[in-house]
Amino acid sequence: MPIATVNPTTGETLQTFEALGAEEIERCLAAAHATFREYRTTEFAERARLLNRAADLLESEQKDIARTMTTEMGKPVAAARAEAAKCAKTMRWYARHAAELLADEHPSRADAEDSGAARVYTRYRPLGVVLAVMPWNFPLWQVVRFAAPTLMAGNTGLLKHASNVPQTALYLGELFERAGFPKGCFQTLLIGSGAVEAILRDPRVAAATLTGSEPAARSVAAVAGDEVKKTVLELGGSDPYIVMPSADVGRAARTAVTARVQNNGQSCIAAKRFIVHTDVYDAFTEEFTTRMAALTVGDPLDESTDVGPLATEQGRTDLEELVDDAVRRGATALCGGGRPKGADRGWFYSPTVLMGITSDMRIHQEEAFGPVATVYRVTSAEEAVRVANDTPFGLSSNVWTRDQDDVDLFVRDLEAGGVFFNGMTASHPALPFGGAKRSGYGRELSGHGIREFCNITTVWHGADPGE
């Protein structure tokens, strides 16, 4: 895949970039490793000062970088501005909390004495150079939620971004350097996927994190496993959105639209499978479908647009094949089901609601990465759990209920990294983020995320015989 900005609204190639050669990659690796040896000794206060400065720059440039993201991958420009603001917020959160999150931990006095120590504690030390392989769907946020904790922990970072968002990738590499981080602290590598293995195998790279597809994760994890290097993987999701009889059905239906079409439906944590109790099925499905059909599809730079184009032509083709397979096997499209009329340019797809889904349809097991929702009718909480868990994914989940027995059952039985009640799944810097099953392993954000790329070190001091 060429490294290029291709406007998904028009299909026009706006700018192409040359991939880094072997000598340039070597210079980046050498700089990252050399900088780590010095940067790891800096104080938290200095790292925080630099990260806050990066947040200042990002906030001042919010409108410009939002337009760049929208031009490169098609998200509505208002959502792009919100993404930039969230990134600045997360930088400030880690600048404020990293020192306490990575503070030395001391066992109880009794446990210390039982270990034979006069003094013992656990210290979190940085690992080294961390390679990040990042996707296009949240081109700023996915990187910052890795970069902020990684830099605050004292590591250095190398970014291999998706090939269709090179301008956003270059902006990120320059942002941290302009903020004052030492040269080599955070670098963007404009490279193809074929160059990743050699970089990951390089002994100067300590670990890797990947957000993206399962095939890419398998490749990275296999190489890292062969090299015995730590990885964190955040992969796909086919999140359930369960609506029970006690729910506020109107609010659930309104929220469901945003939960499904956020980022043009191209979000791992977007609700995709709407599992509705038969008592409220008709009311929910009618309002949900009406609202999905009323969304404005168009130019994402237009402030009135609700849903822009899919990011790539191949992405739209993949979505079309999933929907066509379902309809061919008996599903009914309550709205949408194809390209909008008159959309002769760009990679647009109409917001779609499918009912009558059966287990032999591909969309029952595969992730629909676009504005397509599937609706299921169930008769009990237990059946809702069975349908929700009948997927290889387990990223997050949503449940609408006012019944405490329902709450207890879903928290206990849903196979997911998060359970969100009476609201849509969202990430926040203070909350751990990640999944189960084929949605990956490890956690981003919160204290869990910053500790993923630390050497958790036991420091034990024996009693001085002279004392």
Question: Closest by alpha carbon to 250, among 278, 277, 274, 286?
Answer: 286
The active-site residue out of 83, 234, 367, 452 is 234
Half-sphere exposure of residue 362, counting CA atoms within 13 Å on the CB side?
A: 13
Extended strands (E) in 379-423: 393-394, 398-400, 420-421
H or E stretch covering 99: helix 77-101
| Structure-token pair, residue 334 | 């309550």
Helices (H), 102-195: 109-114, 141-152, 166-178
Give the other-Cβ count within 10 Å of 451's Cβ. 15
Give the other-Cβ count within 10 Å of 343's Cβ. 15
The active-site residue out of 28, 87, 185, 268 is 268
Give the other-Cβ count within 10 Å of 55's Cβ. 24
Yes or no: say if 68 and 167 are a contact pair by the CB < 8 Å rule.
yes
Q: Mark whether 268 is an active-site residue.
A: yes
* DSSP string for 176-242: HHHTTPPTTSEEE----GGGHHHHHHSTTEEEEEEES-HHHHHHHHHHHHHHT-EEEEE----EEEE
Distance between CA atoms of residues 32 and 329, nearest Å: 53
Give the other-Cβ count within 10 Å of 90's Cβ. 23
Active site residues: 234, 268
